[in-house]
Amino acid sequence: MSGVEDIPSGPVPGAGTRAGRRGANASLLVGGALVAAVVLLALVSFLWTPHDPTLVDAPNRLRGPSAAHWLGTDRFGRDVASQVMVGARTTLFVGVVAVGVAALVGTPLGVLAAMSSRRLGELVMRGNDLVLAFPALLLAIMFGAVFGADTLTAMLAIGIATAPSFARLARGGAVEVLGTEYVLAARVAGRRRLAIAVRHVLPNIAGLVIVQTSVSFGIAVLAEAALSFLGLGTRPPTPSWGRMLQESQELLTVSPRLALVPGLAIALAVLGFNLLGDGLRDRLDPRLEARG
Amino acid sequence: MSRSEPRSPVLTVTGLTVSTVDTELVRDVSLRVDRGERVGLIGESGSGKSLTASAVLGLLPEGVRATGSVRLAGVDHDLLGASERALAALRGRRMTLVFQEPMTALNPAMRVVDQVAEVMLVHRTRPDRRSARAAAVELLDRVRLPDPADTARAYPHQLSGGQRQRVVLAIALANDPDLLICDEPTTALDVTVQARMLELIRAATARSTGLLFITHDLAVVASLCDRVLVMYGGRLVESGPVHQVFTAPRHPYTRGLLAASDLTATDERGRLRTIPGSVPGAGQFPAGCVFRTRCDRADQACGQLPDWRGTPEHGHACWHPTHPGGGAP
Amino acid sequence: MTGDQPLIEVTDVHRTYRRPRVSLTRPGRAVAALRGVSFSVTAGQRFGIVGESGSGKSTLIRLLAGLDQPTEGTVRFRGQRVSGRPERQLGFLRRELQVVFQDPMGSLDPRMRVRDIIAEPLVAQGHPDTAGRVAELLEAVGLPQEAAGRFPHQFSGGQRQRVSIARALAPRPSVLVADEPVSALDVSVRAQILNLLADLVERYALTLVFVSHDLSVVRHVCDTVAVLRAGELVELGPVDRVYRAPEHPYTRELLAAVPTLRGALARFTTRTAEEEQP
C-alpha cells in the first residue's frame, strides 16, 4: 500500500530548462502578436475599412492588388482587404463563443464527474460519450432547423459538440490531481469539496484546459467555414474568412489569391492561438519559473 | 571471501568533468574498478554520483557534456567521445546498468523471457531465439525467481517490484558483463526484498565482474562493497576500503554522513548528529573546498582547492582531515 | 489528560477494497487491506507503525485521519467516533489530528505559495490572523520568513518537508501522524528532520503516530511499536522489548533484513581485526 519512494537523484541539468524558457517566451510573444493583430483588425473594422466590404462593384471584379484595393477584389468586385478586416470579427466571435461554451460547460462537468461518486461519475461520462459520438455538423443542422441558421446558433452547436472533449480531459486531469497527497493534505486540513475543486483541482488542470482551448479554437474556426459553406453559418452578405474561402473554390484556377488570403488569415489566427496557448501554459506554471 | 587472482582494472575513469553550458556538475573525478571488486559510490542528492555513472555509460542527457577519460578493459578507445554506435555495442554486453525503478526499465508489452533473450540476441551471444530463451530461463532461475519457466511467460505488471528488479538484474547479467553499474537498485524495494537483492548482486559479482554501486545508504555499502568513494558537490572527497573509511573517516563530510546515518548515536538530549545547512543547488557550491560552507573545521585555507592526498584508491581531499596522523599542515 | 485514557482507539478494523469489475456478471475481486486490527494510542505516546508495501499501513493512516471508512470495526478519537461519519462532521478531528505525508513534493500543491499552503488548515477552519501564525510556524520549523512567498519547487526536499510539518502544526493539533516523513530524504537531511520532529513533539507536547518501513528509524523515534504484515497486526509492544526479544517470526525477519552500519561493519572486524582502530 505504501507509495513509491521518491529519492531525487543527481542535479537536474539546467541547460534544457533555460532553452525551454526562452522558447516559452517566444511562443507567448509571437502568439500574442498574432492574436493581437486579429483583435486589432476586428476593432478597426468597426470604425474604418478601406471600402464597404459588401459593396458590389461589377466592373472592378477579380482585380489584382492595387493602391485602391490592397488585396484586390472578388468576383463581385468587393474589396478583399475590407472583407478580411470585417471577417476577423466573425472569427473572434466564433472562437470566443464556441470555445467558451465548450470550456465552460465541459470543464466543470469533467471535474464534477471526477469528484462525485463512482456511479454518478460513470453516468456523466457515458452521457458525455453520447454527445461525443454525435456529429457536430448534424447537431448544428438540427440547431439551425430549430433556432434558425446564423453564426451564433452554429457556434453554440459547435461549442456543445466540443464540450465533451473538455469534460473528458478535465476528468482525467482531475482524477490525477485528486489522487495526489496535496489533496489528501487539504482534506486533512478540513477543506470542503468545493474548495478543493477551486483551490487545487482547477489551477492544476488549467494548463491542460488552456492547450485544449487553443486547439479547439482552430477546430471552431474551420467548422464555421464548413457550416457557412452549407448555408448554416454566417449568412451572406456578412463576410467571414470561412465563407470567403468557400466562395473562392470555383475560382481556384482563375484567381488563387482569393483562396490564399482568407486561408492565410485562418492559418495565422489558428497558429496565433495555439502559440498563445502554449506560452500561457508555460507562463502559468510556477515550476517553470527561474529558481530563487 | 578472499580472492587470490591478481587485480586488473575493468574501469578506469580519469579527470572526468561533466558540465552544462554554464555549470560544472561533476569535476575532476578519477576512479577505478577492478575485476571482481565491488565499489560503492555514495553521496546525497546533487553530489553528481548518478551523472558520473551516466557519463561512464555515455547516457548523459542532452545539453550535458563530459570531458576527461573513461576506459573499459579490452576496449582500445576512450568511451568519452566514442560514437553512439560503438557505445551501443558495449552497453548491455560489456557494461550494464540496473536502475532504481524496475517498472520503467522493462517493456510493459513484452514477456519477461523475451526481454531477457533480446539482450543476448542483440549482441549475438546466443545463436538463435530458441537457445536465447533457454538461457533466459536459466538466468531467471539464477536470480532466484520462483518457477522460472512460468515466470518467464509473465508480463512485467504481473510481477512484484522485487521480482521485476530481479528480471532487470537478469538482463544486466545476461551477457556476463565486465562492469555492472547499479544506481540505487534497492531504494524502491522493501527491506526484506532488498536483503535478497543485495545477496544476488553480491553473488553475481563474486567472480570477474566489477561492480559500481551507487547509493545514498551507507549501511548498504558497508554490507556489500569492498571499497567506497564519497562524492559531494560534484567532487570526490574521499575514497578507500569500506572498513577504513567508515571506521576512521578523514574527510569531515564523510564523518558527518556517518554520524547522521547512525540512529543509535545521539547527544544528551536524544538528538541525532547532523551536518549543518543543506546541499546547495547545482552550480552554487563554493569555490575552493566544496564542503567548506557546511564544515566546522573550515578556515581560510579552505578557500583553496584541497589537493588529493594519498593514492587514487585510498585518499581524501581536505586541508584539515579529521583523523590525526594524516599530516595536516 | 492521563496516560490511561486512550486518545485513539482502533477496534477490530477491517478494510476491504473491491477491484474494478472485469466481468459484466461478476463483481470485482475483493482485496483485504486490513484484517481485524486493534490498538490504542494514549496521550503523549510516540507510537510507531512498521510495515512493508502491502502491509496496510497507508490504509490505516487514512482511517485514522478520517479520509477513508473501515469496512468493519471502529476508529475513535477521544471517545468520539471517526469511522462512519461524513467528512464535514470531522471538524473535531481536523483541529486535533494532523498528518505529515511521505513525499515532500507530492504533498504540496505546486501552484500554491508556501504561505497559502501553511495557512490552508487555518483558512479551512476559520482562524483569524493567518499571517501572524504562518510567520510563527516558519520560525518553529526553521525556515526563513521570506520562504512564505515562494513556491514548493524552489525548496530542497528537506525544506519542503519542513513546510509540510508547519502546515500540520498550524491548527495546534494534539496528535501528529507522520507517514514515512523521512523515507524520501537524504541521510543528512533525514537526521535534521527527525531532530525537528523530536523538538516539536517535546515543545508542543504532541502525541506522535509515526509510520515507517524502516525499523531503525522507528526505534529511534518511538516508544511503542506495532508491526503490520499483510493487513494484520503481528506484534505490538514497547520498542526496546520488540527489538531485544521479537516474538513474531516476521518481526525477526524484518530486524535481520535492515542493514545497519554497525552490523555491516562487524563483518570486517571478524576478518581484519588488527586493522581496526589504529
| Chain B (126-165) residues lying within 8 Å, Cβ to Cβ, of chain C | 161
Check residue A64 and give left, alpha or beta (phi > 0: left; psi -120 to 50: alpha). Answer: beta
Nearest alpha-carbon partner for A220 in A288, A270, A262 = A270
C258: closest chain B residue by CA: B191
b/e string for B9-36 if b means 16 or more Cβ within 10 A?
bbbbbbebbbbbeebbbbbbbbbbbbbb
> What CATH topology corresponds to C6-20+28-258?
Rossmann fold (3.40.50)
Task: Going residue by residue through chain B, which has 329 residues, state the pLDDT in tens, using 9 for 90 and above.
Answer: 444 455 789 999 999 999 998 889 999 999 999 999 999 999 988 899 999 999 999 989 888 999 999 999 989 999 998 998 999 999 989 999 998 877 778 888 899 999 999 999 999 888 899 999 999 999 999 888 888 888 899 998 888 888 898 999 999 999 999 999 999 888 878 888 888 889 989 998 887 899 999 998 999 999 999 999 999 999 999 999 999 999 999 999 999 999 998 888 888 888 999 998 888 888 889 999 999 999 989 999 999 999 999 988 899 999 999 865 443 33
Q: What is the mean pLDDT of residues A254-280?
A: 85
**Per-residue pLDDT, A147:** 84
DSSP A46-66: HH--SS-TT---GGGTT----
Q: Tell which wins on pLDDT, C51 or C22.
A: C51
- Across the interface, do C186 and B44 touch by the CB < 8 Å criterion? yes
What is residue B266's DSSP assignment? B
CB contact under 8 A, A2 and C57: yes
B62 touches chain A (CB under 8 A): yes
ipTM confidence score: 0.85
Domain ranges, ordered by start, for chain A: 21-288
* Res A292: pLDDT: 33
Nearest to A6 among C33, C88, C184 (CB): C184
Best of A9, A17, A22, A291 to disrupt the B interface (most B CBs within 10 Å) is: A9
| Dihedral sign (CA B155, B160, B166, B169) | positive
Overall average pLDDT of the A191-212 stretch: 91
- For the cut 80, the answer to whether the pLDDT of residue C180 exceeds it is yes
Under the banding of pLDDT at 50, 70 and 90, the label for residue C274 is very low
- In the prediction, which pLDDT does B112 show? 92
Tell me which H or E stretch contains C74: strand C72-77
C3 pLDDT above the threshold of 60: no
User: For residue A14, what pLDDT is reported?
Assistant: 36
Nearest to A11 among B25, B184, B188 (CB): B25
By the CB < 8 Å criterion, does C259 face chain B?
yes
Looking at the complex, report in whole angstroms how far the Cα of residue B178 sits from the nearest Cα belonging to chain C: 26
Is pLDDT above 70 for C7?
yes
CB within 8 Å of chain A, chain B residues 78-117: 100-101
Q: Residues A32, A34, A35, A40: is their CA dihedral positive or negative?
A: positive
Q: What chains are in contact with B, requiring at least 3 Cβ pairs below 8 Å?
A: A, C
Q: Are B212 and B279 in contact (CB under 8 A)?
A: no
- The three-class DSSP label of residue C53 is coil
CB contact under 8 A, A13 and B61: yes
Which amino acid is located at B32 in the chain?
A: R
Subunits next to C (3 or more Cβ pairs <8 Å) are: A, B
Q: What residues does each domain of chain B span?
A: 9-94+175-316, 104-174
| Lookup: cell for A103 | 470550456
Q: List alpha helices for C17-152, DSSP H.
A: 57-64, 91-96, 114-124, 130-140
Per-residue pLDDT averaged across C196-206, rounded?
95
Q: How big is chain A by its Cα radius of gyration, in Å?
A: 23
Ranges of each domain in chain C = 6-20+28-258
- What is A21-288's CATH topology? MetI-like fold (1.10.3720)
- Average pLDDT score, chain B: 89
pLDDT score recorded for residue C170: 95
Q: Is the dihedral of CA A207, A211, A217, A223 positive or negative?
A: negative
A14 at interface of C, judged by CB pairs closer than 8 A: no
The answer to whether A15 contacts B47, with C-beta atoms less than 8 Å apart, is no
Residue from C187, C201, C217, C260 to probe the interface with B (highest B Cβ count within 10 Å): C187
Closest CA to C181 of C49, C74, C38: C49
Q: Which residues contact A79 (CB under 8 A, 6 or more apart)?
A: A49, A50, A51, A52, A53, A55, A69, A71, A73
Q: Which three cell numbers stand for residue B73?
A: 578493459
pLDDT on residue A267: 87
Closest Cβ opposite residue B64 in set A4, A8, A15: A15
Instruction: Give the span between the Cα atoms of C231 and C59, in whole angstroms.
Output: 9
**Cβ distance of B183 and A9 shorter than 8 Å:** yes
Is 0.95 topped by the overall pTM?
Answer: no
Quote the CATH superfamily of domain B9-94+175-316.
Answer: P-loop containing nucleotide triphosphate hydrolases (3.40.50.300)
- Mean pLDDT in residue range A116-133: 87
Closest Cα in chain C to A189: C121
Contact C276 B247 (CB under 8 A): yes
Whether B188 sits inside 8 A of A15 (CB atoms) is: no
